[in-house]
A and B are shown apart, each in its own frame.
Chain A
């Protein structure tokens, strides 16, 4: 049986037997880095094409259909274009910060990949405070946006960056509270433990209404945290040209663009892990036959299926809803989402103490 964990274990043993423990660790780190970069590249290509197709279909258009069969190679052509473009630094910009900001946004996205369990027993770093680590690291992404906006020396960029700062700081709260709801129910911050607590049913089914509300709030908050429409105040094409990345071009722009899509992937992966059971297959109570059929589908397929379902949901939001104004955005967070998620957390805690979930 081929699975990611078998391949990883065999490689690990072979390396330890042949090159010694120090070099084995170094080689494993390099391999993990290459794997993450490859995943980034593939995700960028797939998600950009998916977004363009989804947006086209929702607007009854055709979408990309020229490059390659059914437009499948469109994102390769776009990447090629971005790679040969000139990477331009404006005269008045702070050179170091300006050039460093896109790399910081990608580094944050790469760090977030570490604790995610992609398949059964397959994880880069099994850390016992996985969920805390994710919420701590994801707040660094605002620094890259502020850095880009400030260093550009451009009023639109600065306004975009400031908006983004206000937005991410406020929406982090309700995202965190809805994550804590699951931590309370699962009783652990460790990601494999949280997944194993869902072996007999995903939290979204087991946790009654409080988890459902937490899920909705989580999705809203992470849409805001990744700066996607309807919360794309930081970019706001129609008012701020492109917000914090107005002055960027070529590959540096591409890194911001890639980081946005990778962040969407990561938050959807976290959502899938916490609420939809990670790589756990769908099991329904006592239907033995059905459960066994579901077990045959590989765990990585389950995980990626759930992630892409959530990504589709977030794209659906983007192409349905109009953009919020900045005051409406903060109203929504501080007057609606935060109080609701606090009460919701209380309910979930009572439910966890009473053991009323399934």
Chain B
């Protein structure tokens, strides 16, 4: 009985090892079938998956207008205080005060790319971009202001 399990152990051990070697041998002879993304040489043709998220950006149209109302929904949605919105009050031509954003501060170094801010935004002002080469020499350069200088809110966005 002991001898039977002993021989069976040896047999299963050897066959499972050979199975593993067969797998790696297959990979060795088929190494041209690269399954990983190749990176630095093919920046122009890089094919990133749709769900890949690199950083938060604010979309601006050709008139330098964005859709951010300064409602701070994204700031509230953010789990680790990545976004800080500084608001100001614009005076409309009718003489009324209207809330608008002064600075949309985005701390890339704190961001986990969870996408909650984009989902929380009622007007679709921000989105996730696919850029990923974020390395800089100074940490302060990771703190970004997303609204472009001189931009204003698009007409009709409330």
Chain A residues with a Cβ under 8 A of chain B: 54, 56-62, 316-317, 319-321, 336, 340
Question: In the assembly, what is the distance between CA of A340 and CA of B30, in Å?
Answer: 36
Q: Are A320 and B31 interface neighbours, CB within 8 A?
A: no
Tell me which residues across on chain A come within 8 A of B21, comparing CB atoms.
316-317, 320
Which residue of A58, A62, A319, A320 contacts B34 across the interface (Cβ within 8 Å)?
A62
Return the chain A residue nearest B20 by Cβ: A320
Query: Min CB distance, A319 to chain B, in Å?
Result: 6
Question: In the assembly, what is the distance between CA of A54 and CA of B28, in Å?
Answer: 7
Question: In the assembly, what is the distance between CA of A54 and CA of B21, in Å?
Answer: 13
Question: In the assembly, what is the distance between CA of A340 and CA of B13, in Å?
Answer: 14
Q: Are B23 and A320 interface neighbours, CB within 8 A?
A: yes
Q: A60 and B34 in contact (CB under 8 A), knowing A54-B28, A316-B25, A336-B10? A: yes
**Interface pairs (12), CB distance under 8 Å:** A58-B24, A60-B27, A60-B30, A60-B34, A316-B24, A316-B25, A316-B28, A317-B21, A320-B20, A321-B20, A336-B9, A340-B10
Tell me which residues across on chain B come within 8 A of A321, comparing CB atoms.
17, 20
**Interface residue total, chain B, C-beta cutoff 8 A:** 17
Q: Are A57 and B20 interface neighbours, CB within 8 A?
A: no
Q: Are A60 and B25 interface neighbours, CB within 8 A?
A: no
Interface 1/0 per residue, B10-37 and A, CB below 8 Å: 1000000100110111011011011110
Summarize B's interface: helix, strand, loop or mixed: helix
Q: Are B17 and A58 interface neighbours, CB within 8 A?
A: no
Tell me which residues across on chain A come within 8 A of B17, comparing CB atoms.
320-321
Tell me which residues across on chain B come within 8 A of A340, comparing CB atoms.
10
Tell me which residues across on chain A come within 8 A of B38, comparing CB atoms.
62
Return the chain B residue nearest A220 by Cβ: B17
Return the chain A residue nearest B23 by Cβ: A320
Tell me which residues across on chain B come within 8 A of A317, comparing CB atoms.
21
Return the chain B residue nearest A318 by Cβ: B24
Return the chain A residue nearest B10 by Cβ: A336
Tell me which residues across on chain A come within 8 A of B34, comparing CB atoms.
60-62
Question: In the assembly, what is the distance between CA of A57 and CA of B24, in Å?
Answer: 9
Q: A57 and B31 in contact (CB under 8 A), knowing A320-B20, A336-B10? A: yes
Q: Top 10 closest A-B pairs, CB basis? A: A57-B31, A320-B24, A58-B24, A320-B20, A58-B28, A57-B28, A320-B21, A58-B27, A60-B27, A60-B35
Q: Are B36 and A61 interface neighbours, CB within 8 A?
A: yes
Q: Are A60 and B20 interface neighbours, CB within 8 A?
A: no
Q: Are B27 and A59 interface neighbours, CB within 8 A?
A: yes
Question: In the assembly, what is the distance between CA of A59 and CA of B34, in Å?
Answer: 9
Query: Min CB distance, B14 to chain A, in Å?
Result: 9
Question: In the assembly, what is the distance between CA of A281 and CA of B135, in Å?
Answer: 58
Question: In the assembly, what is the distance between CA of A60 and CA of B21, in Å?
Answer: 14
Q: Are A57 and B27 interface neighbours, CB within 8 A?
A: yes
Return the chain B residue nearest A230 by Cβ: B17
Instruction: List 10 additional contacts besides A320-B21, A321-B17; criterion CB under 8 Å.
Output: A57-B28, A60-B27, A60-B31, A60-B36, A61-B34, A316-B21, A319-B24, A321-B20, A336-B9, A340-B10
Question: In the assembly, what is the distance between CA of A316 and CA of B36, in Å?
Answer: 22
Which of B23, B31, B33 has the most A CB atoms < 10 Å from its CB? B31
Query: Min CB distance, A249 to chain B, in Å?
Result: 28
Query: Min CB distance, A103 to chain B, in Å?
Result: 36
Query: Min CB distance, B22 to chain A, in Å?
Result: 9
Question: In the assembly, what is the distance between CA of A320 and CA of B24, in Å?
Answer: 6
Question: In the assembly, what is the distance between CA of A62 and CA of B35, in Å?
Answer: 11
Question: In the assembly, what is the distance between CA of A61 and CA of B28, in Å?
Answer: 10
Tell me which residues across on chain A come within 8 A of B36, comparing CB atoms.
60-61
Return the chain B residue nearest A53 by Cβ: B31
Question: In the assembly, what is the distance between CA of A319 and CA of B28, in Å?
Answer: 10
